[in-house]
Chains A and B, each alone.
Chain A
Amino acid sequence: MRDPGVPAIVMRDVTKRYGRRTAIDRLSIEVPAGVVAGLIGPNGAGKTTAMAMLLGLVSPTAGRGSVLGGPLGRPASYLHRVGALIEEPAFYPHLTGRENLRLLATFGRVDPSGIPGLLELVELDSRADDRVGHYSMGMRQRLGIAAALLGDPALLILDEPTNGLDPAGIREMRDLIGTLGDGARTVLVSSHVLSEVEQICDWFVVIDRGRVVFEGPSARLLGDGDRVVAAPEAPADLQRLARLLEGMGHRVHARERDIAVPVGDSDPAVLAAALNRAAMEEGIVLAELRRAGADLETRYLSLIGEAMS
Chain B
Amino acid sequence: MTHVIRAELQKLMRRPVLVAAGAGAGVFAAVAAAGVFLSAAPDGPPAGRTATLASLAEPGGGTEAFALGVSFAGLLVLVTFLTNFTGEISRGTLRTLLLREPRRLRLLAGKMTALLAFAALVLAAAVALTWVASLAIAPSQGVPTSEWVTPGALADNLADYGTALLTLGGWAFFGMALAVVLRSTAIALAVGVAWAGPLEHLTEDAWGAADEWFPGLLLEALAVGGSSTVPFGRAVLLTVVYGAAASALAAQLFRSRDVTA
Contacts and interface: CB of A to CB of B under 8 A. Distances in A.
A107 B93 contact: no
Nearest to A75: B102
Given A91-B96, A95-B11, A57 B259 contact: yes
Contacts of B6: 106
Interface in B1-44: 3-4, 6-7, 10-11, 14, 16
Nearest to B102: A75
Interface in B51-105: 91-93, 95-103
Contacts of A79: 99-100, 102
A296 interface: no
B258 interface: yes
Given A92-B11, A103-B7, A107-B3, A87 B95 contact: yes
Nearest to B257: A59
B6 to A, nearest CB: 5
Given A57-B258, A57-B260, A107 B95 contact: no
Interface string A86-114: 11111111110001001110111100000
A56 interface: yes
Interface residues of B, number: 24
A267 B70 CA distance: 85
A90 B103 CA distance: 19
Given A88-B92, A90-B93, A76 B7 contact: no
Given A90-B93, A147-B96, A107 B7 contact: yes
A86 B261 CA distance: 10
Nearest to A18: B258
A107 B102 contact: no
Which 10 pairs across A and B sit closest by C-beta, in order of nearness? A90-B92, A108-B100, A75-B102, A106-B7, A107-B7, A107-B100, A58-B258, A57-B259, A56-B102, A90-B96
Interface of B: 3-4, 6-7, 10-11, 14, 16, 91-93, 95-103, 256, 258-260
Interface of A: 52, 55-59, 75-76, 79, 82, 84, 86-95, 99, 102-104, 106-109, 147
8 contacts: A57-B95, A57-B98, A87-B95, A91-B93, A94-B16, A106-B7, A107-B3, A108-B3
